[in-house]
């Protein structure tokens, strides 16, 4: 008998916590050899150098690590923010703003100002990428299961279901009334899913909270979205490792030295299953309803704000290497590293 979604989520939660515990222990040991290397936000240094907190939100492990302040209540506040936004923006959480919009049958829904802000940003990137980034892809995403531990759930949706779902993915059906703080789906069968941008938005909110509480040296890690708050306490740059696809945790294909920047990676190795020799991954092409097929394994975006990196890493992956890099080169203050399926790397001009 296959597990229900709640059971599968709990199994993943327990498994990921076990993994993160091993990674943290290994990192502390590794600090004897490699001082200062960060892998998706994990600083390899002695425990006395920082305070941190690890929890599970947005269907992923999050870790907040502070280097210049020992006030544990600040970490409490970070987790309260994470819980708030998980309850507000998750399409799978009943009575969240997004859940309410998706189940409104086309009626206006009053939402939080932050929901309006994130939807505005999502629609901006949808337009900028000609729909490669699409916040209204929920009807298609719901057909796929890339996280279940039960192999019976690893199935490719039938083409008829995908074609039907694609008819309800027009992001222009998201109608925002900022004055009245309401959102309406003009297509009652459309579904919003902000999974490709919400973590970046939330990371930025947590960073604002940390700075407001006199934290100027920290790393926010939301499931691979690494957001750097300032620099290390000696004013040197953090070093963020970009994971080598399919290599397992802890092996990097390259590194980035940065201060006060966001480093976000989207790759096909994050959530996927393999069936009959074909890899099916979570980076869905909005034009086909199927996983994007191109020569890329991952895209990493360096930006000031994590919300930008989150949206652009998905958009550029879907656009592919040529159009994706063209988009990056047209934007100020954004850099990128594209990892190809032969493990070669293409960097943007200012990387």
Residue 204 in any domain: the answer is: no
What is 27-50 written as a DSSP string? HHHHTTT-TTEEETTEE-S-GGG-
CATH of the domain at 136: 1.10.3980.10
Residue 220 in any domain: the answer is: no
Specify the residue for token string 């059906």.
173
Q: Under 8 Å CB-to-CB from 340, ≥6 apart: which residues?
A: 295, 296, 297, 321, 346
Average pLDDT by stretches of 10, the chain with 351 residues: 39 42 34 36 51 92 96 98 96 96 98 98 98 98 88 90 98 98 98 97 98 98 93 96 86 95 95 90 97 97 98 98 98 98 97 90
Residue 126 in any domain: the answer is: yes
Please report the pLDDT score of residue 20 as a whole number.
40
Please report the pLDDT score of residue 48 as a whole number.
53
Please report the pLDDT score of residue 10 as a whole number.
44
Residue 163 in any domain: the answer is: yes
Q: Under 8 Å CB-to-CB from 118, ≥6 apart: which residues?
A: 89, 194, 197, 198, 201, 307
Is the Cα dihedral 275, 167, 200, 71 positive or negative?
Answer: negative
Please report the pLDDT score of residue 148 as a whole number.
80
Residue 103 in any domain: the answer is: yes
Residue 118 in any domain: the answer is: yes
Residue 138 in any domain: the answer is: yes
Domain span at residue 128 reads 88-185
Which whole-number Å values give the CA distances from 255 to 6, 95, 162, 211, 219, in the listed order?
Answer: 36, 40, 38, 25, 16
Q: pTM of whole model > 0.85?
A: yes
Number of domains forming the structure of the chain: 1
Please report the pLDDT score of residue 249 as a whole number.
66
Residue 46 in any domain: the answer is: no
Residue 41 in contact with residue 63, Cβ under 8 Å?
Answer: yes
Please report the pLDDT score of residue 49 as a whole number.
87
């Amino acid at each position: 008998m296959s597990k229900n979604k709640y059971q599968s989520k709990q199994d993943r939660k327990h498994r990921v916590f076990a993994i993160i515990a091993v990674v943290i222990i290994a990192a502390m040991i590794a600090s004897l050899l490699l001082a200062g290397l960060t892998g998706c936000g994990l600083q390899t240094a002695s425990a006395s150098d920082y305070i941190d907190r690890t929890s599970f939100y947005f269907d992923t492990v999050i870790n907040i690590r502070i280097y210049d302040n020992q006030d544990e209540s600040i970490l409490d506040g970070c987790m309260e923010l994470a819980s708030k936004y998980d309850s507000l923006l998750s399409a799978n959480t009943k009575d969240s703003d997004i859940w309410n919009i998706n189940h409104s049958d086309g009626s206006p829904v009053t939402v939080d100002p932050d929901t309006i802000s994130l939807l505005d940003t999502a629609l901006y990137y949808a337009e900028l990428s000609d729909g490669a980034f699409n916040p209204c892809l929920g009807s298609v995403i719901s057909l796929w299961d890339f996280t279940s531990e039960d192999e019976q759930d690893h199935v490719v949706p039938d083409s008829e279901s995908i074609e039907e779902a694609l008819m309800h993915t027009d992001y222009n059906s998201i109608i925002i009334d900022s004055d009245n703080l309401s959102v309406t789906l003009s297509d009652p069968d459309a579904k919003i899913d902000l999974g490709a941008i919400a973590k970046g938005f939330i990371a930025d909110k947590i960073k604002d909270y940390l700075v407001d509480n006199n934290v100027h040296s920290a790393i926010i890690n939301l499931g691979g979205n690494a957001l750097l708050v300032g620099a290390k306490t000696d004013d040197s740059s953090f070093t963020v490792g970009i994971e080598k696809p399919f290599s397992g945790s802890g092996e990097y294909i390259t590194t980035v030295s940065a201060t006060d920047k966001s480093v976000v990676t989207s790759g096909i190795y994050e959530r996927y299953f393999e069936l009959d020799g074909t890899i099916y991954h979570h980076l869905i092409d909005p034009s086909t309803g199927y996983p994007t097929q191109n020569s890329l394994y991952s895209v990493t975006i360096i930006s000031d704000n994590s919300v930008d990196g989150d949206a652009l890493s998905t958009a550029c992956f879907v656009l592919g290497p040529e159009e994706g890099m063209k988009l990056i080169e047209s934007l100020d203050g954004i850099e990128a590293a594209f990892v190809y399926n032969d493990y070669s790397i293409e960097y943007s001009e200012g990387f």
